[in-house]
Structure 1
Amino acid sequence: MRHNPSFALDDPAEIRRLVRENPWATLISHTSAGELVASHYPVVLDEDSDGIVLLSHVGRPDEQLHELGRHELLVLIQGPHGYISPGWYDASPAVPTWNFITAHLYGIPELLNATDNLAVLDRLVDHFEDRMPVPRRLNDTADNAVYAARISAGTVGFRLRVTRVVAKSKLSQNKPAETVTRILAELEGSGPYASPGLAAEMRRVHRQADQSGDRP
């Protein structure tokens, strides 16, 4: 990902927030056979650890395809993103662009034993079920607990301590305030490229810039 200091996302707290709010991740490995392998799984943060530590699992035999634990794994986290029309700039000449927030997280995964893997699966379920009006837990009944323990054998859990981060928050930080206002109006409107989630990310980063006095 091309580095641009204007859009660099360096705050670990913001990267952790990005993971919490966008837990569907892409896992990418460059294997010893010279192949690129990609899979898609939910991840959660290990909130009890310092730094950025991810917890997840893969279904068998993905752990073999990725050679999990033998080399660095790249985890892609993608937040809200969307098309930005040059018609929203009120400027000429102008070209379209794409606003986005994303993080590339690197580390060597530590494979978990069966007990710890089941605990990670339990945490994943709780992370998503907590929002439900009547949450269903992995171990909320004896039958569920037995079933979960049985099917967990088809998965391999891992803990990944992130040792390298490349993250970018490209949200019109290089545009004047009046242009940002027009873009926000379109994203929060009813047009074909409306995106309330992207607008919320833009408002967050521009509010922080206003508070710090760091405006173009």
Structure 2
Amino acid sequence: MFRICCSANEPLGQAEANWFRQQFGVEVLENYGMTEAYPMIGNFAGLMVKPGSMGRPVPGWDVRLLDDSEKEVGVGEQGEICLRARSNPQFPLGYWNRPDDTRAITGGDWFHTNDLATCDSDGFYWYVGRKDDVIKASGYRISPFEVEEVCCRHPAVEAAGVIGVVDAERGSRVKAYIVLAGRFNANAETADSIRQFVRAAHSQFGYPKVIEFLDELPSSQSGKVDRKALRERRPVTEF
């Protein structure tokens, strides 16, 4: 039997977390970090866990959510996860034979992760997405991960990848690439069903305005959805 289980690399979806708990009777403890500093944020055995949260900063790491001016953001506001440089003996000395990158990335007061999150009043961090992946539409900042997770709750959806596409009025529109479950057809009716489901379960502004069906999603070497590849695709049939 498992006693303690942890996850990292990619946010754990609610469906996967529920499945694991039902199968093994153990809550998966999510952790967050990077090659340069791991783990910075996490959930801990014996302490309160909020499902879907990355947890709280690991003792010994000075982690903050900062805006573009390196000012700390307020409770519930989106900010970049940043680590105070040289605040812990594990902080990296630099990159091997890359002095320019060492100065640029680790030489300031803060190490920038390029990941966005929010923090609640209990100090729990909630992942939003990579800075270059977050969709800005009509003044809203939309997490593609959150939209993907809601899409995947629809019975027709096997997998989903979400990006922003240029829109003259809104700045961006939310577009979802969908891999269908076996018995469903790639048509306007299925697309509209998914669209209305996400609109009701997520928000009036964050649902996919455009849907395109694929046989499979491009993925990175680590198995994550390759949103860069999706952004570079030429649209074929959109609904």
Tell me the TM-score normalised to structure 1 length: 0.26
- Structure that is richer in helix per residue: 1
Tell me the TM-score normalised to structure 2 length: 0.24
